[in-house]
Structure 1
Amino acid sequence: MKLALIIVGFLFTIFSFLPILRTPLWWVRVLDFPKLHIAILLTITEAIYIFLFGVNSATDIAMVTIWTLAILNEVRYIFNFTPLVKTEALRAERKEPDNTFTMMIANVRMANKKHQKFLKLVLQENPDMLIMNEPDEAWHESVRQELDQRFPYSIKKPINNTYGMLFWSKFKLHNSEIRFLVEEGIPSFYTIVELPSGKKFDLFTVHPQPPRLLKNTETREAELLLVAEMARATPYASVVAGDLNDVAWSNTTKLFKNISGMLDPRVGRGFFNTYSAYVPLFRYPLDHVFYEPAFRLVGLKRLPKFGSDHFPISITLSYEPQLENQQEPPKPDTEDKQEAEELIEEGIEKGKEKNEEKAT
């Protein structure tokens, strides 16, 4: 029993410290996700060990100290998403109807056949904009008639590879583009949204590849950081939304926020876990909305599941540029900028290799 606890404890300790390494290796990056779980399991392991065997030697003291440091290492990442921390994104003050909008984001899961259940949820929520990740042509055909009637503007790229994307809007869209930033077959959208007041903002929608067996994350990092640079460079305030296949507390997401200068409405409010809808004990915040300080938060909620492995989320924002100086966005330092450029270059090269493999 004692040996088993020691092995389990040090295994979780390794899981805690490995993600500190700045590497795109998939078996390291997947450990960005279960930080809360590792902290809880290691805490239980440590408590059982102390209860059963005590701390009676220098070896015990050293081991328990290392385990405690590993627990604190995990907690420091997720702590910002608890109510104990000051909120990063401020609440709206004006809520003018012509400058307020609701956006719904949903990874529908291509294999999910409950198309009508999803459509019913969309009609019930009645958002101003809808982002769908993972739709294929079957999904498109099943919902387009109803949604085209309710949303006069759209950008569409259904693909049969789990990276399709559909976007509908009640508001006018300008200069819309379907972009393949890093990999062929993995689109992202860009558009300028015109609010009823006539004010405009940029919208970027993304869905990069996740870390998975033998699939490293170079292209994911490159796509997210390219979008971060683009968003910061545009003349309009920007919103970035979609399934980022990354958790809110990872180093990649932090770097994305620093480069883009965007706020995360979950800081100080909660995790808003969206994946997996199937497994209640293992859920992570993979679907995101980030925005610049010209926007204020009206509401953020996780919506009911509808058959996908993701929960959809809904966010309502108010465009209040006159108050943007009251919010403090993250800012990149020289090291952040250098790291971002290196990751972008590395990811683009990896994307070229993948594109060439597909071509052959």
Structure 2
Amino acid sequence: MLSIVIATLAILLLGITILARLPVHWWWIRSCEFPRLQIATLALLTLLFAPFSEAPWRWLIVSSSLVTLVVQACYILPWTRLWPVQVQRAEPGHDERCLRLLIANVLTPNRNAEGLIELIRRHSPDIVLTLESDDWWGQQLDTALASQWPHAVRIPQDNLYGMHLYSRLPLVSPRVERLIQDDIPSISTGITLPCGDDIQLYAVHPRPPAPNESEESLWRDAELLLIGKRIHDAPVPTLVAGDLNDVAWSRTTRLFCRISGMLDPRRGRGMFSTFHAHYPVLRWPLDHVFSSEHFTLRDMQRLPGFGSDHFPILTTLCYRPSRADEHETPDADRDEHREAHATIREGKEREQET
């Protein structure tokens, strides 16, 4: 009986692994991309139990578990210290070229604003980006931050897609955009660094593929790829930050990086999993910072929780265009550009079904 149970689990894990590779937008398929670390861990356990199983189940367990483990490892290893870093480490000095960015999905019903404000004051970032922030959150943040972070873009919404951006540094032509869906905002703005150079920032929070949100990932994918296309068409020093409602190793996020040429500072350093803050076993990286080749990384850390279902993440990047050639910039081929164009077009044309 034990052999049958272990074999069933091994086959189930292999099935989920295969489903995650299908190029479709259905939410239940795309959700198979999220728990790769958890699936790999379970596959390792079934492999360890295989010697205690009876034939012929033993070889079925071994073969299924090995395939699952190898495939999942190929996806998650780049986000471990076993892999080369993608964004080079910043050298000491050049503080006037560095930008400290704090991202926090506050979870709208969470009312522990003081917990987040204390983190902001302690770490003193140049830019604060909050997601899921409504009018109440905006009032708390305005009262606490307006004097030291005077430049702001406020988009209070009560649909879990509100967004607030606070900055010590001057913002250049900030715009609120609704790229794919009218109720999902994003922010596009220039930022003037203390050294006098301008960089571009996109702040995003697309709708996730989930039963109560969207039956498909199409509209999330279209928004990310549209931003990627913009970056590709106007290759200026750029940062992309926010809760992407997608994991770093997903089909869409990897395509976004190839379309845009953006780099992931976590690669070679760790996953920095930010969600779910309350369930350590079910945790993956949803909150992201991507940079163009013009930046090096000084520091990246996940901060303590403050009542939200997301941990905040704090990243310090330095604008060092003279070191751009030290990076291997990802690049998309013609078929991938066609795929991105088709996804963007379909996302704009189709109405969402929930």
TM category, shorter = over 0.9
Conservation of the 8 A alpha-carbon contact between 2:104 and 2:130? yes
Task: Output the CA distance in 2 between the equivalents of 1:321 and 1:300.
Answer: 20
Alpha carbons 2:88, 2:296 under 8 Å: kept: yes
Task: Give the aligned residue type for 1:237.
Answer: P
CA contact (8 A) 2:7 2:60 kept: no
| 1:238 corresponds to | 238
Query: Which residue does the alignment assign to 1:269?
Result: 269
1:154-165 matches, cutoff 5 A: 154-165=152-163
Quick check: 1:16–1:71 contact (8 Å CA) kept in 2?
no
- Contact 2:135–2:157 (8 Å) recurs in 1: yes
The residue number in structure 1 matching 2:256 is: 256
Aligned length: 351
Aligned with 1:207 (options 205, 214, 220): 205
Q: What CA distance in whole angstroms lies between the structure 2 residues aligned with 1:62 and 1:281?
A: 27
* 2:82 corresponds to 1:84: yes
Shift of 1:28: 0.5
CA distance, structure 2, for counterparts of residue 235 and residue 42 of structure 1: 42
Deviates more, 1:129-138 or 1:38-47: 38-47
Tell me: CA distance 1:156–1:292, structure 2 relative to 1, closer, same or farther (3 Å): same
Q: Is the 8 A contact 2:128 2:166 kept in 1?
A: yes
- Are residue 220 (structure 1) and residue 205 (structure 2) matched? no
Kindly provide the CA deviation profile for residues 182-206 of structure 1, in whole angstroms up to 9, marking residues without a partner as x. Answer: 0111100000101111100100000
Q: Higher helix share goes to which structure? A: 1
Structure 1 residue runs without a partner (length 5+): none
Deviation at 1:68, TM superposition (A): 1.2
* Offset at residue 233 of structure 1 (A): 2.3
- 1:198–1:218: structure 2 CA closer, same or farther, 3 Å change rule? same
Q: Give the aligned partner of residue 340 of structure 1.
A: 340
Q: Deviation at 1:63? A: 5.0
> Does the 8 A contact of 1:188 with 1:207 survive in 2?
yes
* Secondary structure at the counterpart of residue 20 of structure 1: coil
- Matching residue of 2:296: 296
Corresponding residue SS for 1:284: coil
Greater CA drift, 225-234 or 81-90: 225-234
Taking the aligned partners of 2:304 and 2:327, their CA distance within structure 1 comes to 31
2:79/2:270 contact within 8 Å kept: yes
Identity of paired residues, percent? 37
Q: Give the drift of 1:80.
A: 0.5
1:111: how far off? Answer: 0.8
Q: Who is 2:4 aligned against?
A: 3
RMSD, aligned α-carbons: 1.5
How far residue 323 of structure 1 moved from its aligned partner, in angstroms, is 1.4
Amino acid in the other structure paired with 1:146? A
Task: Name the SS of the counterpart of 1:105 in structure 2.
Answer: strand
1:38, 1:235 → 2: CA distance?
Answer: 37
Q: CA deviation at 1:276?
A: 0.6
